[in-house]
Structures are given as structure tokens and as C-alpha cells.
Structure 1
Amino acid sequence: MISPTTIDQVFETARVEEVIGDFVQLKKAGSNFKGLSPFSDERSPSFMVSPVKQIWKDFSSGKGGNVVAFLMEHEHFTYPEAIKYLAKKYNIEVEETEQTNEQKEQQDERESLYLVSEFANSYFQKILHKTDQGKAIGLSYFKERGFTEDTIKKFDLGYSLDEWQAFTDEALKQGYKLEFLEKTGLTIVKEDKRFDRFKGRVMFPIKSMSGRVLGFGGRILINDKKAAKYVNSPESDIYHKSKVLYGIYHAKQSIAKEDNCYLVEGYTDVIQFHQTGIKNVVSSSGTALTPEQIRLINRLTKNITVLFDGDAAGMRASLRGIDLILEQGMNVKVCTFPEGEDPDSFAKQNTLEELSVYLIENAKDFIQFKASVLYEESKNDPIKKAETIRDIVNSISKIPDRIKKEIYIQECSKIMDISEEVLFSTLAQINKKDFKEADKQYKTEQRAFEVIKQQPVKKVDVQYVLERKIIEVLLLYGNRTEGFEDLILKENDKGQLILEPVINRAKVFEKIFLDLQDDEMEFTNPKFKTLYYTIIDTLNQNPEFQLKNFINSVDTDMANEITTILMEDERYALDDWERMHIFPKEKTQNVAQLVTETILSLRCFLIDQKVKEVQQKTIENKNNVNKSVLEEVKDYSGLKMLLSRKLNRAL
């Protein structure tokens, strides 16, 4: 267990905008930050972070909470793991009692897979640095590749002994279950036999954006035609190769800072670039590039530079990845290395300055690149040239932005020496075909929507809205002292009853509590009722009430509800009204008025409900309507009139 002192220190130190900024590219939006949702596929920001309240809200998925909630949602951390991650980030010493083997067994399955992977990572490093076989074979290989000791340790590189079950035996000895060794793919089980998947290979741990070990890549060091050169961990509950990029953990901050990501093919390409000094580089780890991997980069930057070696066949195969990048609304450039060179070898032979200059000078626009690769094959064949042009226009059609499309058409016209009119016509044909398919899909969806539209429209629950507003006011301004205007009935010189305004100063939470208590008003929503009494009790006991501490002290469900309430208004900041010279009035300019109006509105609503009840009883007993019922309706109507005057409403 982690000590309460450590947890308090973590919450006190951690900044939600700094932590989330490691995973999502955030831009300033007034007093908040906004960015693309890390939980859904979108092109317009719907993710909001509030540094003042130290909470976040994702309007596309409905998720929200504090800094720990983000790590639990995004990285699938347990609560203790999220605390440890933050403690490590902010150099806070974690006080805890060590887990027993029994406690390890009680961890859920997913967590067990993570634990096994972390153990394997430590084991392979230990073998590399502490055993004769590891030093002679594994460490020698890495040093031959030009990797320094610091680089080897930074990327947690390791070695798996060339023995059939050395790793498996050690893992079982340490108390890890064979079930999870098999599910992570570290151990292969066949009937009554078991052996290590990565036997005799140098090891590259594949990490998530937060640094958790998800799986491994292993390279064989002997010439064996029957064995694959590289072997990756199989798919598991924690490792999905289509959603992971090698090196993203080490590259994320540099990608956001440089506003560009270099995309390479292999593990050693990433490591060599990093060692040379270019850190904003990731790899798809030998798999074909996927939309999920591109969206991972899209959280950090809109710009990708794809790096190819001089192999023409490999370049043609990789052209498909460029179209995928364009479809995601990203800006893409391509840089190739001289024939016989790849990113790894080229980075090894050049200084940081030489490599940086080369990348800048040789990065081509994707049209120039496609034209140069495809044109060479088709320059003497008119039919092939026409196919090349159509191929380029097809790539342009993937771009969502219409202005960019037009600019690229103009560029293509110059490079391929063909009129813009013909290219626009071709683009229109491609778009028409795409439109027909999209239209067909749209009509299918519309038919489903028509069925939904026939369903009765749900009415707005006024009491729910007002109760929610009271919770929001308590959370934001509960501890503030304000001057509240009350209207007191007094008799004037002529003997008439008039309303005279009187200003009384009070805490916001006291004003709300007393007003609701005077009218014996109860919350009808169970969540709001629990929240209301929890907040009132906390404010009563703690004069130094802080919203951040309060959110951290309640359970996950309540914290999520609080975040949803508090961040609802922040949704409108996503529209950037100030850019259109529209300046919404801040709530804090008149808190007293907000409190008074909310309470009075709730009272008016409840009076309406009471009058309807009385009217319904009158209808049911129309033959027995007594004078007291009529007087009750009259009294309620008079009270409603009085409240409406306070609210300055016409009745």
C-alpha cells in the first residue's frame, strides 16, 4: 500500500496540464487548454483541460476527472500505478509496503500481464549486463551497432539466453504464473512442453506512451534460414501492434516541441537517431502503418516526415502509408537516403548537424516524392504516365482540407506538365465515386436515423437542470462570501405592503443551505443529493476548502460526476468566441445574482408542480371541490407572483 502522505504529496505537486501534455498536444484556449480527444477519432478538438480546477473533460467520449483518472483511463493504470507514475515524474519518494506473492496473485489478469512483461524486461537487461553469454553475444552486438552504454540502458535493451527455457524457469521460480507467461507470448506452451519464444535473441522492449512495457521485439544473431530474423510478441490484452509505435515513450516530448515526427521502419533506426541527437523519431516496428498509429502521432503533431532507405521496392510498398497519413488530415513529407544507406547507417556516419541539414534539405513534398519514384518507371510510356498522374491525384483526393487540395493540384500540374483543368476533372471523378459510396452509406444511416426520429422527444427535466446548477455553484463558489439581496415585506405610510431590498452578507454555501432548508426542498436526483450533503459537510468542516483536494478525496464515480458538471461550460471555450470578437460574461462577475436566481427558479418550478398536483386532485374530485383547495391554489399563485417579481419575470 502507498502511504497517504505520498498520495497527498503527489496530488499537491502534479499538474494536470503537464501530465496530459505528455500524451496530447494541448493549445491555450483562454484560461484552459484544448486538444484532440485521445479516446476517439476526431479532427476538431473536444478535449478540455482546466489548470485552475486541475481537471479534464473529453466531450466526445464523456470521460473526465483528475490527473490520476486520466492515467487510469488512457494508460489503463491501476490507482497505485498512476500514483507511482506521477511520483516518478515529479521525483517524489514513494513510501509503501512491499507486495507479497499472495498479493501478486490477487492482481487482475491485465495487471498480471503487465507485471510479467516488466519482470521480463528487467530479466533480459540483467542477462545482457551480468552474464558471460549476455556480454559476449548480446552486448557485443549492440556495441558493434555503435550504441553506447547510456543508449543501451536508456532503451532497456537486453538479451535472452540461447537456452530452451531459461527465462521461463526463472519467472516460475519468482512466482509468476505460466498462464500469464503464455498469454504475453514470452513462453510457448505445447502439450506438456514449454520453451522461451525469444531464445538466443537480443531484446527490444516495446513501450506505451507512458513507458509501460507492452511486448518485445527480438532479433536473432546467428544465420539460421529456418528462423525469422525478427520476432515480435504476439497480440495480447496489453499489446496490439497496430496501435503501438516503437520509441513513442522517448520521443513524445520532442515530437510536440519540434512539431514534427520522423517515421522510420526499424528499432535500430530509432535508437541510432536518438543517440545522434534527433529524438522526435518513432517506428512502426516492421508492420504496415495503420490509422491507429497515425492518430497516436496526431495527438502530438500534425506533421510527419517519412524516412525511407534507398531500396526502390520498399519505397513503392510504403507509398500506401502516405495516403493513410493524408486521410487523417496530416501534413506529410518524405526523405530518402542514398542508395545502400538506411536511417541507422546514415545517422551513425554523420554528426547531429550534418544529419539535421540533410533531413531539412532532402525532405520532399509527397507529390514531388511520388512523382520522382513513379515517373522514372513511366516517363517513356504514355499509358504508365497517365496511371502515375491518376495515382498522385488519388492521393490528393484523400486530403480533407479543400484549400490544400487545390494547392497540391497546382503543384502536380507543374511537376507532371499537365493542365490544372484536367487534374481538377480527374479529382472530381474520383470525388464523385467516393461521394456515391459516401451517399450510399449516408442513406443507410439516414434510414436508421428516421426510425430513431420517430421516437418521442424526451422533455427537458427542469428540476434536474436546476439541482445540477446548485451543485456547480457550491463547487465553484461555495466558500465565497457575497452580498445577497433579500426583499422584505414592509408596510408603507399608506398601510400598503411593499417589497424593500435588504443586503445580507453570507457564505454562498450557507445561503443555499438555509434557503433550501427554509422551503424544505429536497434533491430528487440521488447522485446530486449525495453530492450536495457531501459538499455542505466538507465546507462546514473545512474553511480552507479547495476544489482540487475535494475531487481527489471522493470516489471515482462522484469525481467523474463533478468533472462533468464543472467542465460543461468549458465546452463553449472550444468554439473560441474571442476570435470572433464575442466576449461572454464571466460568471464570477455576479455570483450572488446567480445563486439567487437559481434558488428562486427552483422554488418557482416546485410551486408549479404543487399547483398541478392540486389541479389534478380537483379534476379527480370535481363534485367535491371545497373552499380550502381554491384558497391553496390562490396562495401558491400569490407566492409565484412574488417570486417572479424578485426574478424580474413577467407572469
Structure 2
Amino acid sequence: MRIDPETVERIKQTAAVADVIGDYVTVKKKGANYWACCPFHGEKTPSFSISPSKGIYKCFGCGKAGDSVRFIMDIEGLGYGEALRHLAKKYGIDIQEEEMTDDQLLRQNERESLLIILEYAKEFFKKQLTDSDEGKSIALPYFKERGFSDATIQAFDLGYSPEGWDVFLKTALKHGFSQDIIEKAGLVTNKNDEGKVYDRFRNRVIFPIHSVAGKVIAFGARILKSDAKNQAKYLNSPETVVYHKSATLYGIAQAKNEIRQKDVCYLVEGYTDVISLHQAGIKNVVASSGTSLTIEQIKLIGRFTNHVTVLYDGDSAGIKAALRGMDLILEEGLQVNLVVFPEGQDPDSFVRSIGSEAFIEYIQKEARDVISFQANLFMKEAGDDPFKKSELIKEMVQSISKIPDAIQRSLFIQKTSQLMRLEEDVLLAEMNKLHLKKVQQKSMPTLSPQNEAELQALFEPGPEVDAPVEVQNLAYYQELECMRLLVNYGHLEISPEKAPGVSLLQYLIHELEEVHFQTPLFKGIMDTCRSEFARGVIPEPSFYLHHPEEEVQRFAIDASSDKHVLSTVWRDRHEIKVKKDEELLEDFAYKNILRLRKVYNDQHIKDVMERMDQYVGDPNEMNDLLLEFIHLKEIQKNISQELGTVIEK
């Protein structure tokens, strides 16, 4: 299905790039642009630039670039059409679409199809909870007993899967979904001994799991029957194209804005912990969904804040799990505190027993940084045993060694020295041992046969590495400069005084009428420009910057992005005027075309010389080659003189 161009343009104009990206990472304004840490690769120093005036972003670290639509495509893994629909829904823009047929559903991109069926399943489970007799008599009372209000149930899209073996499956098939996509979404189980499939989550309350953007990507479910034997109490969706458990946090969609505003993320273990705290007004909370905390989950938190407070149960297993997670958080450069609740309590039960205000006061009073917490815990464990105490101190130093910031490491060493009554030098020596060991491990990997070959190649000469594909033709850089001028300034007059009304695009088309670019991307852009000009349209930069083809859009952004901006001191203090590109268009375009023609001419000369070297045949034809060679050398000489370069003999 195709969205009409006017609607596409309205979506792009409404979906401000800084606002869209701000839903995923913390952005800070610097001058005319915004900057953030790139969400596509790990970095501590922001290199991700957002230009509101151009409606684009570019990471100077990993090279990712695009507009608001491209960002949603990359961050959510959506197709172009689905990304447009996502933004249209977010900003309340109506899109008129025809009802999808079975054939259209089958042709959908698998990822988009999975998101569609998962959204359908969410609505099905919600309806079963509130409208069916089974849901109202069995599932709804469970949520009410947990203290969840109607508003909370709605906010987290809670639902119920009925007891029947294949109620959902039959309903989804009836509404046109294929069994293949239902199975790929993890909504039904594998075939049983009788060759049938049945609903995965039957007779369970449903907790939809959302992506950062709020898309349903999976489900968690809890069984309600107390006498159920040989059945897991909790059940999650399997890994799918859209759901990777290790990279997902429950509640992130509902919590992201509050995390950014409060500049701290509360990390808990379970679904009900998140929901209860959210209902109590503590909305900056997410859960690791019962799994051990992963690097991917920590990086997801790091998009919105550098401060994490881990809230875990007061039992020994919960404390140990928290400590393992804290080292990972420290290693990613985040600042982490830990709060442990009284034995027998978890965040859900505790907030319901004392209320939100007292809960916040408890967190503020009991929160401990990693070193203070470990010192308090270890002193109790070690007692007066010097051997135990020594081992526990080593664990503390190991945690400190994970911190990437040197100043923070130094301060924590000082604190440990005071708490444990040890000289700082002793602790620093232990930490240096850990760093040395890590360096040795990195520099001396286990060598497989393949690694041995790679190592040998470092010391033995081998064949030269081929140049990148895009620069294998000698004209690449001249073609690149031509396209840079075209994308940024094609709509401007090349010389308002000498040729009023003549655009740079018109000039380039006229001068390059018989030129065929050797780089496929540039040839495609030039062909598009010729077609647009023939229709009486002169594309402006936005035409390329928001182009639906990723390769064209990425090139346009690269061609228009500067990481460094010329200081105003040159103009304001020293009164030095530096001309901008648009003031020198005539000179730039003229010389670029000359250089382009020269490199093509040089290629032609090389080709003629090779033909002459290899020629065997009629002398008259050889004379033709000589005349062609002389003509080409004359062109080379004229161009070199015009450019002011060395005249070749």
C-alpha cells in the first residue's frame, strides 16, 4: 500500500527530527544544532549531530545519517512505509488506507508483519480481559487484587488469554493472518503429537512487552491456576526477528520521558514491580524481566540517563544478582547506586505497604554507591578474618577497576582506603595488576590457524589491498565534488550578475550533456536531476536530504555536513572575511567541470596508448590512433593551462 506524496510530506514536516530522536536519547542544544551520544554505537563523547534547520542527523563516529523517517527505520528496524505510519500515529496524522488482503499481508516484510500480528494479539488479549465472562471472572480480579487501577491496566495494555486450546489461533486465522506469521511471532506453540498447534499463553494474564517506541514486540504471561502441575509460572515469548530479550527492558516505553526528566532510572526485576511503582507515581522505572542484566540493556538505559539506582529484593540471591549487575553498569560508564529492601519485601509489596512518599524517602536514605554498599556488606561477612577481608577488598578494587573515568576511579580508591583503613598505594597497586592482566589478555589472544595466518601477514609482505569500490575509477573525486555542488547549491543562480536566472543545475546539465558518470550512485543522481529539470523542477537540498533511497539520502547528508564550523572570531575580532561556497559557485563549477573533463581525457589517452602498444594491423588505422592521441594531448594541454597546473609533455 502506498501513502500519497502529500501525506508523506506532511508527516516529514510535522515530525521534527530533534523531537523524534529525543524520544530515544538525551539531546542537548549547542548553537544551531543538537548533539547526543549515538544510539547506534557505544560512545561516551557525543558525536551525533542533529540539524533542525535541515531536518537531518549525522553521526561523525559511525556514519549513520538520515532524517526523522530514516531514524525510525534504523532504530526500530521498520520499512519505509511502516516508519511513516509510526510517525503519523505519533503526531495524529490521518492516513487513508485500503483494508489489507491476504495476498498483501503475505507480501509484507516479515518484520512489519510480525509487528502487525503482535499489535492485533495485544488488542485481542485486552478485549478478552474486559469483555469476556472468563476474563472478568478470573483475570480481572487478579489485577485488582494487585491493586492495579483501570488506568494502570490500560497504560500497560494488560490482558488475558482464554483457557481454550486455540481460541486466539482460530480468531487470527479468521481475520486473515497466516499461520506461518502467527508461529513466527511466538503466539502459538509447536505442533503436538497429534499434529496440532495451540495458543502459547492460554489461561494466563498477559503483560505486553513494548519497544522504546511503544510497539508491542513480545508478551510475558503468568499462570493463574494454583494447582497447575508441570507448567511454568511465568512464560515469555521466544526470540523473534523483532524481540531480543537481552536487549529489551520492560516498561521502557512508559518510563523513558520520566527517566530523562528525573535523570535517574530505577531498575527492578519483575513486571509487577514496574507497574506498582508506576501507579504510585514513580514512573522512571524499568525491569530486566527476570533475566541477568545485560550490556545491551544497560546501553538502552544510557540513552536517557547516566544514573541508575538498582532496587532488588532483600534476600541473598537478589543482593548477589544486584552486585553482578553493578559491575556491568560501572563498566559502561554509568553511575550506579543500590537499594535493598527489608527481608521478605520487594518493590511491589513495599510501595503498596508504605505508600509512594515514604518509598521515595526510603530510597533516598538507603541508596548506597557500589563501594559503600560492598564495604558494609563485606565487613559483616569477613568479621575479623584477615584472609576473608583481603579477598573481599580485592573484589571491591575489581569493581572500581571497571569504571572508565580515571577521576572517578581515583575518588573511589580514596573512599575504599578510608573505609577499609588501608593505604591508597596498596589499593592502587592491586588495581594496576588488574589493568596489566587485562592488557596482557587483549594483546595475547589464543591463536587459531586463521589467527596465525593473520599474525604472519603482519610480518610478511602480501598483495596490495584493493581500493574501495567507489574510488577504483579515477574520476571518483571529481564526480564527488560535482555532486556535492549539485546537492547543496543546484537550486541557486550560478552568477546573478553575469547570468541572472540560470541555476547551477541548468549550467551543469548543459556542460555535462555528453558526460556519463562512472560512479553508479552519481550517475543515478544526475539522471534524476535531468528528469526533474525536464519537468521544470529544480530540486532543492531537501529533495536529496529526505530522499526515500537510503544511499542518496546518506550521500546528501555527508555532502552537506561539517563537523567543524569556522570560528566567528575570524570575522568579529580580526575582521577577516571568508567567502562561502555559494559566493564562489561560478569558479567552483567551472574548475570542477575542467577537472572532470581532464580526468576523463587522461583515461582516454591511457586507453589509446594501450591500443597503440598492442596494435598489429593496417598502418592507416595506426595513423588514426596517432591523430587521436595528438588531439587528446592537445585537450590535456589546454585544460592544464586553464587550471594553472603543470603542462604535460
Give the TM-score band, short-chain normalised.
0.7 to 0.9
Contact 1:55/1:563, CA 8 A, preserved across alignment? no
Contact 2:489/2:541, CA 8 A, preserved across alignment? no
Instruction: Indicate yes or no: 2:514 matched with 1:526.
Output: no
Other-structure match for 1:191: 193
Residue 316 of structure 1: how far off its partner (Å): 1.4
Q: Distance in 1 between matches of 2:157 and 2:41?
A: 31
Residue 190 of structure 1: how far off its partner (Å): 0.9
SS of the equivalent of 2:516 reads: coil
Residue 580 of structure 1: how far off its partner (Å): 12
Instruction: Indicate yes or no: 2:243 matched with 1:217.
Output: no
How do 1:232-243 and structure 2 match up within 5 A? Answer: 232-243=236-247
Residue 339 of structure 1: how far off its partner (Å): 3.5
Contact 1:468/1:565, CA 8 A, preserved across alignment? no
Change (3 A) 1:196 1:394: same
How do 1:308-319 and structure 2 match up within 5 A? Answer: 308-319=312-323
Contact 1:479/1:543, CA 8 A, preserved across alignment? no
Instruction: Indicate yes or no: 2:606 matched with 1:602.
Output: no
Contact 1:474/1:509, CA 8 A, preserved across alignment? yes
Other-structure match for 1:327: 331
Stretches of structure 2 lacking an aligned partner (at least 5 in a row): 573-577
Deviations 1:314-364 (A, max 9, x none): 111221111111222222222233343322233334555544444334322
Other-structure match for 1:506: 502
> What amino acid is the match of 2:486?
L
How do 1:80-159 and structure 2 match up within 5 A? Answer: 80-159=81-160
Q: Distance in 2 between matches of 1:637 and 1:199?
A: 79
Deviations 1:20-47 (A, max 9, x none): 2222333445544443443344445454
Residue 439 of structure 1: how far off its partner (Å): 1.0
> What amino acid is the match of 2:192?
K
Length-normalised TM-score, structure 2: 0.86
Contact 2:495/2:585, CA 8 A, preserved across alignment? no
From 440, 443, 461, the counterpart of 1:439: 443
Residue 297 of structure 1: how far off its partner (Å): 1.7
Other-structure match for 2:78: 77
Residue 479 of structure 1: how far off its partner (Å): 0.8
Other-structure match for 1:454: 462
Instruction: Indicate yes or no: 2:549 matched with 1:563.
Output: no
From 484, 488, 505, the counterpart of 1:472: 484
Deviations 1:72-100 (A, max 9, x none): 23212233321221111111112111112
Contact 1:207/1:247, CA 8 A, preserved across alignment? yes
Q: Distance in 1 between matches of 2:233 and 2:340?
A: 24
Change (3 A) 1:195 1:525: closer
> What amino acid is the match of 2:366?
N
Instruction: Indicate yes or no: 2:261 matched with 1:257.
Output: yes
Q: Could you say which structure has the higher strand fraction?
A: 1
Change (3 A) 1:440 1:581: farther
> What amino acid is the match of 1:402?
A
Change (3 A) 1:629 1:196: closer
Change (3 A) 1:588 1:417: farther
Contact 2:545/2:557, CA 8 A, preserved across alignment? no
Q: Distance in 2 between matches of 1:641 and 1:551?
A: 35
Contact 1:48/1:571, CA 8 A, preserved across alignment? no
Q: Larger relative CO (CA 8 A, sep 6+): 1 or 2? A: 1
Q: Distance in 1 between matches of 2:359 and 2:571?
A: 47
Q: Distance in 2 between matches of 1:479 and 1:179?
A: 50
* Mean Cα deviation higher: 527-536 or 20-29: 20-29
> What amino acid is the match of 1:106?
R
Deviations 1:214-257 (A, max 9, x none): 21111123323643322212222322211111011112222233
Residue 532 of structure 1: how far off its partner (Å): 0.8
Deviations 1:413-454 (A, max 9, x none): 122221111100110111111111011139959727728983
Contact 1:475/1:535, CA 8 A, preserved across alignment? no
Q: Distance in 1 between matches of 2:166 and 2:566?
A: 63
Contact 2:206/2:220, CA 8 A, preserved across alignment? yes
Change (3 A) 1:233 1:617: closer
> What amino acid is the match of 1:322?
M
Other-structure match for 1:340: 344
Residue 2 of structure 1: how far off its partner (Å): 5.0
Other-structure match for 2:575: none
How do 1:361-440 and structure 2 match up within 5 A? Answer: 361-440=365-444
Stretches of structure 1 lacking an aligned partner (at least 5 in a row): 486-501
Q: Distance in 2 between matches of 1:448 and 1:370?
A: 46
Change (3 A) 1:423 1:586: farther
Residue 618 of structure 1: how far off its partner (Å): 6.5
Q: Distance in 1 between matches of 2:219 and 2:369?
A: 34
Q: Distance in 2 between matches of 1:139 and 1:402?
A: 52
> What amino acid is the match of 2:224?
L
Change (3 A) 1:537 1:167: closer
Instruction: Indicate yes or no: 2:277 matched with 1:296.
Output: no
Identity within the alignment, %: 39
SS of the equivalent of 1:203 reads: strand
Q: Distance in 1 between matches of 2:354 and 2:570?
A: 51
Contact 1:157/1:205, CA 8 A, preserved across alignment? yes
Residue 537 of structure 1: how far off its partner (Å): 3.2
Instruction: Indicate yes or no: 2:511 matched with 1:515.
Output: yes
Q: Distance in 2 between matches of 1:539 and 1:373?
A: 74
Residue 67 of structure 1: how far off its partner (Å): 2.5
* Mean Cα deviation higher: 576-585 or 108-117: 576-585
Residue 525 of structure 1: how far off its partner (Å): 1.9
Query: What count of residue pairs does the alignment treat as equivalent?
Result: 626
SS of the equivalent of 2:221 reads: strand
Deviations 1:558-608 (A, max 9, x none): x423323432563634xx886999999854454444333422332343344
Residue 474 of structure 1: how far off its partner (Å): 1.2
Deviations 1:49-91 (A, max 9, x none): 3333323345665554333233223212233321221111111
> What amino acid is the match of 1:535?
C
SS of the equivalent of 1:126 reads: helix
Q: Distance in 1 between matches of 2:417 and 2:530?
A: 69
Contact 1:110/1:238, CA 8 A, preserved across alignment? yes
Q: Distance in 2 between matches of 1:106 and 1:525?
A: 33
Other-structure match for 1:490: none
SS of the equivalent of 1:187 reads: coil
Change (3 A) 1:389 1:571: farther
* Mean Cα deviation higher: 594-603 or 115-124: 594-603
Q: Distance in 2 between matches of 1:14 and 1:510?
A: 32
Length-normalised TM-score, structure 1: 0.86
Q: Distance in 2 between matches of 1:606 and 1:179?
A: 54
Q: Distance in 2 between matches of 1:453 and 1:98?
A: 63
Change (3 A) 1:151 1:78: same
Deviations 1:524-563 (A, max 9, x none): 22321121121243255455744334555x552xx42332
SS of the equivalent of 2:475 reads: helix
Change (3 A) 1:155 1:643: same
Instruction: Indicate yes or no: 2:642 matched with 1:643.
Output: yes
> What amino acid is the match of 1:563?
R
Q: Distance in 2 between matches of 1:579 and 1:332?
A: 41
Q: C-alpha root-mean-square deviation of aligned residues, in Å? A: 3.5
Other-structure match for 2:207: 204
> What amino acid is the match of 1:483?
S
How do 1:260-279 and structure 2 match up within 5 A? Answer: 260-279=264-283
